[in-house]
Amino acid sequence: MSRNKIILFLIIIAVLIVAGYFFINPKAPQTISRSTAVSVLASSLFKTEAWLGLDGYPGGISLRTTSDADLLLKHNNADIVYRYSTRDNQFSLVNLEIWSNATGETVDCNTQVEKEPWRIKIDRETNKLLVDDKEVKGIKGQVHLRYQFTSRGDKFAVLSAGGKKASSLLPFLGEGGASGAHYNQVFSFPDLTSMYSVTELPFTTEKITYRSCWSFDESYIVYSDALDSRLAIIVVE
């Protein structure tokens, strides 16, 4: 056998060995869908210093988008507006005229729809999100904390955590949070298909409660603490 044939024979043997390893080895890399395997980061945790002290009824915030797809956030107790721009990831105060001239539908986060609450709930014994008493599969964090439907009710966001469940410091603000990394995911309703990428959030709920709200066009999800003094913004894509 010539030297070239021997080299070719050895190359073929090596390729077959490698192929066999990936075929039989359960730890070999596998292709996983982007919606469950990849985590992208949300925005930074923004502080809304201009809203400090604006407590009282009705409280909360409203959302609206501009014609160039920026997100506007207005406190319900004052004409103080912030804008978030995806072009440069900037969060800044703007005048009320920009809010008034915006073209997007306004969403009051205090009243965003809760879809069919008799069908969907978080079981506080298992900390799992259930629809028709069946666990929603594919949620990244082991502790399922909260969910929020869009205004149209055709999809919902899920907040989950990878650590341990924590008891609520202030029971009237909810069931408590969790430690570890926190994630946002979006599922369609009612077929419960996972959509978009998993987003890792820049906060934990171990000591601070966060709630979520969708913009009407479903291009943004905003997580805010109980006083709306800290915000994380997700661009849904």
pLDDT of 171: 54
Q: What is the pLDDT of residue 168?
A: 64
* Region of poorest pLDDT, from 1-10, 75-84, 226-235: 1-10
Nearest by Cα to 66 from 91, 90, 102, 94: 102
pLDDT band at 40 (very low <50, low <70, confident <90, very high): low
- State pTM to two decimals: 0.80
Dist. CA 129–CA 60, nearest whole Å: 25
182-188/194-201 β-pairing: antiparallel
Q: Which residue has the tokens 């407590």?
A: 55
Residue with tokens 């966001």: 157
Q: Taking 80 as the threshold, does the pLDDT of residue 151 lie above it?
A: yes
The residue written with tokens 């190359």 in the block is 11
- Angle at 39 (CA atoms; ends 34, 45), nearest 5 degrees: 145
